[in-house]
Amino acid sequence: MYKIKIVEPKSKKEFEAYYFLRWQVLRKPWNQPPGTEKDELESQSIHLMAVLNNKVIGCGRGHFITSKQAQIRWMAVAEDFRKNGVGTEILKELEKRIFAKGATEIILKAREKAVSLYQKHGYEIYDDGEIMFGEIMHYWMKKIVIKEKA
């Protein structure tokens, strides 16, 4: 396991590195131009990145749809660092922050290759998503947390 730090991007430079990784992993391989790695919810989202020796090697984002339901999007780990638990660390920290803010359910639209990772963390498929860039099948998944009554 790498000695990574999971932190929120704060400065302009950090946000640039964070969005660049998103683009590099999730958009560039399908010839999508810079800019396509952002949506309209950035300003109201929880942003997290994994940093190793001052380099951003992973990222993930959470946003609220309602006060009880949140969505995780834009999960990406740089190719050379995958399968070492970096994605898991980002996911866990995002979940922690989302549930701490009162959500009882997290949904996400997983690429086919990422489905097993989310299943390991309690997410279940509930619907088919679209096929993106003509080849990537997506599945809608959700995780529900039942809160114990005090």
Ligand X SMILES: CC(C)(COP(=O)(O)OP(=O)(O)OC[C@H]1O[C@@H](n2cnc3c(N)ncnc32)[C@H](O)[C@@H]1OP(=O)(O)O)[C@@H](O)C(=O)NCCC(=O)NCCS
For binding to ligand X (CB under 6 A), which residues are involved? 1, 25-26, 75-77, 82-88, 110-111, 113-114, 116-117, 120
> In this complex, which beta carbon is closest to ligand X, that of residue 6 or of residue 114?
114
Minimal distance in Å, beta carbon 45 to ligand X? 16
- Residue 66 and residue 35: Cα distance in Å, rounded? 26
Alpha-carbon distance values, 72 to 1, 42, 91 (Å): 23, 12, 8
Strands 124-132 vs 105-111: parallel, antiparallel or unpaired: unpaired
> In this complex, which beta carbon is closest to ligand X, that of residue 39 or of residue 67?
39
Minimal distance in Å, beta carbon 120 to ligand X? 5
Q: 50, 59 in Cβ contact below 8 A?
A: yes
> In this complex, which beta carbon is closest to ligand X, that of residue 43 or of residue 116?
116
Minimal distance in Å, beta carbon 16 to ligand X? 19
Q: 109, 139 in Cβ contact below 8 A?
A: yes
Minimal distance in Å, beta carbon 128 to ligand X? 14
